[in-house]
């Protein structure tokens, strides 16, 4: 027995003692293969899952490395059966391979004949494969490449896709590093280049063929995309969450690459341009007319060599289906978190590709590339009248009642006053609540009903320091570049969404010119589902090493100083 920070249990749970002096090193070591489930104050619970282990295997980690991490940090002897299970689970990845055969084209090849026999007996693979070549090889219909990978994953035999990709239409793209960059870690402007971790991400993706790069908000995922485009040297389709994001991508590509504005098209509700680099919104591609996705023909408009998925964790169902037909194209997914509340991480794995690079948020912070952040949960006690309204409400109404508690207005006013003059975002889910808050703190409000032109005007004014407060709905969760923001106050959200919490903190993580700490507040109604959802929302950030301080709203009213 050693004095390690980790307790490894036979039910595949890992218990990490947070206050142990080796806890941080252990957290970083288990992050590539273990998923955080609960994160209370003193002991965090992680779980080993097949998908987590297969992602680690695809990213280059082998079973010996995983086992050694557990042995090195475990306080007690690690159950032998668990070590065997880890090795056997990771060994399942790659026992089946998709390859190009010189005669038969796309082929499913087995390194283990019994595995091939097993999957071919499954009704799920019927219609996805063709003639049997021999004991280890079977022809695959090219159009079923994606669907077959989905099925094999669900059967417990994830295939390694080695079949390669079509070259796509060539188009010259290079990074232009001659301009001035944003501030570097030393706070000084300098000619820019991809940061070391961005280069590693591009290389990890390129050598893997297709897959997902996971980087913190503010760490430059767009530049990873630009680097992948420069490696590909082909026409590129970029899928993004909204029109504002599309235009930010366009501006960044014009600034950071040799592409001109004339080479970049926008395919959105407002414009329908198809150019060598085309940026399309998920919304327009998933718009139906008479039951048909009319804009999916965009995929056939050019011989794309690369498809980029911004905020890949948000992929809507029609895009998943579309991606199943794009398996011959290189695909890169970009995200700050692969967490999906619908549990479809396995579809991202099989259709976009496995995780190729993942940088822990605190590691990037330590390198000076994202700002440190102080996370505070402000708990508000509902007055008796509001508590009775909540207690007698129907279950479907409880969250809205708690999340929009009138007492939150006063808390927000106090927090805004505490950070007077600092660029501050107030973020919420319910539009009437946001309108009321905007009146209370004398701020502009941005919702889904705000025109793209007006959104851009307000964002530009915020960036320029002309206004220091903005009230925003969930339209600002994703792909909005507001590097000056240093304070965020969250009053309501999409129930217990972990990825939304990560995205909202991410609005603050661009490094500040003066090196100051960002402040992220979650205003929560005590003893309600609002508090329960807040605990769930915080799980992903706890996995990244962020700790929430709990502050009572009454202490805030008494003028307790801000935590730095």
Can you give the pLDDT at residue 563? 44
Q: How many CB atoms within 10 Å of residue 532?
A: 15
**DSSP code of residue 125:** G
Write the pLDDT tens digit of every residue in 509-549.
887 767 788 899 999 999 999 898 888 778 777 777 787 88
426 within 8 A of 437, measured Cβ to Cβ: yes
State the Rg of the chain over Cα: 25
184 within 8 A of 168, measured Cβ to Cβ: no
- Give the alpha-carbon dihedral of 297, 222, 357, 506, to 10 degrees: -110
Least trusted range by pLDDT, from 264-278, 342-356, 420-434: 342-356
The contacts found for 431-438 with CB under 8 angstroms, 24 or more apart, are 431/473, 432/404, 433/403, 433/404, 433/408, 433/491, 433/492, 434/471, 434/472, 434/473, 436/409, 437/409, 437/412, 437/471, 437/491, 438/471
Average pLDDT rounded to a whole number, residues 56-68: 92
Does residue 152 surpass a pLDDT of 50? yes
Average pLDDT, rounded, for the chain? 87
Does residue 189 surpass a pLDDT of 60? no
pLDDT grade for 564, boundaries at 50, 70 and 90: very low
Length of the chain: 564
Write the pLDDT tens digit of every residue in 379-420.
999 999 999 999 999 988 999 999 999 999 999 999 999 999
What domains sit in the chain, N to C, each tagged with a CATH number? 6-92 (no CATH), 96-161 (3.30.70), 196-365 (3.40.50.300), 371-557 (3.40.50.300)
Name, in order, each residue with C-beta under 8 angstroms of 343's C-beta and a sequence gap of 6 or more. Answer: none
Does residue 41 surpass a pLDDT of 70? no
Can you give the pLDDT at residue 498? 73
Can you give the pLDDT at residue 487? 92
Does residue 108 surpass a pLDDT of 80? yes
Average pLDDT rounded to a whole number, residues 99-121: 94
Write the pLDDT tens digit of every residue in 12-26.
999 999 889 999 899
């Amino acid at each position: 027995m050693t004095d390690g920070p980790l307790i490894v249990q036979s039910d595949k749970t890992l218990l990490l003692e947070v206050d142990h002096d080796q806890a941080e090193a252990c957290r970083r070591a288990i992050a590539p293969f273990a998923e955080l489930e609960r994160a209370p104050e003193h002991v965090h619970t992680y779980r080993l899952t097949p998908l987590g282990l297969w992602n680690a295997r695809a990213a280059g980690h082998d079973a010996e490395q995983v086992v050694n991490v557990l042995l090195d940090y475990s306080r007690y002897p690690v159950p032998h059966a668990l070590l065997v299970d880890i090795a056997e689970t990771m060994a399942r990845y790659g026992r089946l391979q998709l390859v190009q055969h010189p005669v038969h084209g796309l082929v499913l090849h087995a390194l283990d004949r019994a595995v091939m026999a097993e999957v071919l007996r499954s009704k799920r693979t019927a219609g996805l494969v063709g003639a049997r070549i021999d004991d280890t090889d079977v022809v695959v219909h090219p159009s079923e490449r994606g669907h077959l990978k989905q099925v094999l994953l669900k059967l417990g035999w994830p295939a390694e896709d080695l079949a390669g990709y079509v070259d796509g239409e060539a188009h010259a793209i290079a990074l232009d590093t001659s301009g001035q960059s944003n501030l570097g870690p030393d706070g000084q402007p300098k000619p820019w280049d991809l940061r070391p971790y961005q280069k590693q991400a591009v290389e990890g993706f390129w050598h893997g063929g297709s897959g997902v790069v996971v980087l913190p908000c503010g760490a430059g995922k767009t530049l990873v995309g630009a680097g992948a485009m420069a490696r590909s040297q082909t026409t590129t389709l970029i899928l993004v969450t909204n029109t504002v994001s599309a235009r930010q991508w366009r501006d960044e590509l014009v600034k950071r690459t040799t592409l001109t504005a004339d080479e970049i098209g926008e395919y959105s509700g407002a414009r329908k341009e198809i150019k060598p680099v085309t940026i399309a919104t998920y919304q327009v591609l998933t718009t139906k007319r008479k039951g048909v996705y009319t804009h999916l023909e965009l995929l056939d408009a050019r011989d794309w060599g690369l498809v980029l998925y911004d905020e890949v964790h948000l992929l809507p169902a029609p895009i998943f289906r579309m991606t199943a037909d794009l398996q011959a194209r290189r695909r890169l997914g970009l995200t700050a978190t692969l967490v999906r509340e619908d549990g479809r991480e396995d579809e991202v794995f099989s259709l976009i590709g496995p995780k190729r690079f993942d940088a822990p948020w605190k590691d990037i912070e330590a390198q000076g590339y994202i700002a440190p952040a102080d996370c505070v949960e402000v708990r508000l006690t509902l007055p008796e009248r509001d508590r009775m309204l909540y207690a007698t409400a129907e279950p479907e109404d409880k969250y809205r009642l708690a999340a929009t508690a009138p007492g939150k207005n006063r808390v927000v006013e106090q927090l805004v006053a505490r950070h007077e003059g600092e660029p501050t975002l107030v973020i919420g889910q319910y539009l009437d609540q946001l309108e009321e808050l905007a009146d209370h703190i004398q701020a502009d409000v941005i919702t889904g009903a705000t025109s793209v032109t007006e959104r851009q005007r307000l964002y530009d004014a915020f960036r320029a320091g002309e206004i220091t407060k903005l009230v925003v709905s969930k339209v600002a969760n994703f792909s909005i570049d507001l590097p000056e923001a240093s304070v965020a106050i969250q009053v309501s959200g999409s129930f217990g969404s972990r990825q939304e919490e990560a995205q909202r903190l991410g609005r603050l993580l661009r490094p500040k010119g003066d090196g100051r700490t960002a402040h992220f507040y979650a205003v929560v109604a005590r003893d309600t589902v609002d508090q329960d959802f807040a605990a769930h929302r915080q799980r992903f950030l706890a996995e990244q090493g962020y700790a929430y301080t709990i502050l009572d709203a009454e202490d805030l009213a008494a003028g307790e100083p801000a935590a730095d």
